[in-house]
C-alpha cells in the first residue's frame, strides 16, 4: 500500500464520534505529544454528545452533521478530503457508497476481540457471556457491522474479581494506548493486504 504521508506534510484526519469521546481525546493528546504525526482536521458528530465538550476544551474544530447525517457526511468528507477517517464510537452504519469511496481510508475501534461480540454493548456482552479473555480490535471499515479486515487486536485476561466497570476501564485504557499507534502505522502505509489479512510491516506492542 502506498504511504499517504508526504514529506513535511502532516496527514489530515477526520474523527467521527457519537458519544463520550474518550478515544477522540486520546488521539488529540497523541497528536499533541508528537506520538501521532497528523493534523486533526475536524471532529464530526451525528448528535449532541460529550465528545463536543471535549472538542471545545481541546480547541479542535467540530461540527454536528445535519439531520440526514449520511448525506451531510458524504458532502463534508468530499470537502475536507482527509487522508484517514477515524471512527471513535460513531454509532451509525456507514452507507455502502461512503465505504466504497473511502475504501482503506476508514478505520474503526471495537471493544471486543472480533468476530466475537460485534455490535453494541460488546464489553457487557463479553462479560456476561463469561469469557476469560477479551480485548480490542482495530479494523478497516467495510459494509458490514464490525466485519472489516482486522489491523490490530490486543487481548486482556478478565481476572476473577473484576466487575463489569473494572473491565470497561481496562478496555478503554488499552483503546487509548493503541488506537493512536495503529492510526500512525496506517498513515505511514506500512501495511499490505492479502485477501482480508492485513499485514503490518512491523508489530505493534
Ligand atoms: C469505545 O469502546 C469504542 O471501542 C467503541 O465505542 C466506544 C467509544 O468510546 N466503538 P468513547 O466515546 O471514545 O469514549
Banded pLDDT at 2 (limits 50, 70, 90): very low
Residue 109 confidence (pLDDT): 98
pLDDT at 10 over 90: no
Stretch among 75-79, 82-86, 149-153, 200-204 having the lowest mean pLDDT: 200-204
Cβ–ligand 1 distance for 135 under 6 Å, the answer: no
- With the most atoms of ligand 1 within 8 angstroms of its CB, the residue from 21, 48, 62, 89 to mutate is 89
- Between the CA of 118 and the centroid of ligand 1 the distance, in Å, is 13
Q: Whose CA is nearest to atom 9 of ligand 1?
A: 89
pLDDT tens-digit profile of 71-110? 999 999 999 999 999 999 999 999 999 999 999 999 999 9
Atom from ligand 1 closest to the CA of residue 110: 4
pLDDT digits (tens, 9 = 90+) for 181-199: 999 999 999 999 999 999 9
* Distance of alpha carbon 73 from the chain centroid: 16
134 pLDDT exceeds 70?
Answer: yes
pTM of the model: 0.95
At 6 the pLDDT is: 54
Q: Is the pLDDT of residue 49 over 70?
A: yes
* Residue 164 Cα to ligand 1 middle (Å): 15
Percent of the chain residues topping a pLDDT of 70: 96
Residue 46 has what pLDDT?
98
Span 16-23, average pLDDT? 98
Amino acid at each position: 500500500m502506498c504511504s499517504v504521508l508526504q514529506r513535511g506534510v502532516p496527514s489530515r484526519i477526520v474523527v467521527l464520534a457519537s458519544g463520550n469521546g474518550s478515544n477522540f481525546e486520546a488521539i488529540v493528546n497523541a497528536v499533541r505529544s508528537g506520538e501521532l504525526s497528523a493534523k486533526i482536521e475536524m471532529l464530526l458528530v451525528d448528535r449532541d454528545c460529550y465528545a463536543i465538550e471535549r472538542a471545545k476544551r481541546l480547541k479542535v474544530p467540530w461540527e454536528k452533521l445535519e439531520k440526514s447525517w449520511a448525506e451531510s457526511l458524504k458532502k463534508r468528507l468530499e470537502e475536507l478530503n482527509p487522508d484517514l477517517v477515524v471512527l471513535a464510537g460513531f454509532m451509525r452504519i456507514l452507507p455502502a457508497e461512503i465505504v466504497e469511496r473511502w475504501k482503506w481510508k476508514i478505520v474503526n475501534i471495537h471493544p471486543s476481540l472480533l468476530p466475537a461480540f460485534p455490535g453494541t454493548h460488546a464489553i457487557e456482552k463479553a462479560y456476561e457471556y463469561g469469557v476469560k479473555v477479551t480485548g480490542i480490535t482495530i479494523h478497516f471499515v467495510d459494509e458490514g457491522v464490525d466485519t472489516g479486515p482486522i489491523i490490530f487486536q490486543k487481548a486482556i485476561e478478565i481476572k476473577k474479581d473484576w466487575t463489569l466497570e473494572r473491565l470497561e476501564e481496562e478496555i478503554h485504557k488499552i483503546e487509548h494506548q493503541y488506537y493512536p499507534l495503529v492510526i500512525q502505522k496506517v498513515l505511514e502505509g506500512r501495511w499490505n493486504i492479502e485477501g482480508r489479512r492485513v499485514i503490518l510491516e512491523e508489530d505493534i506492542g
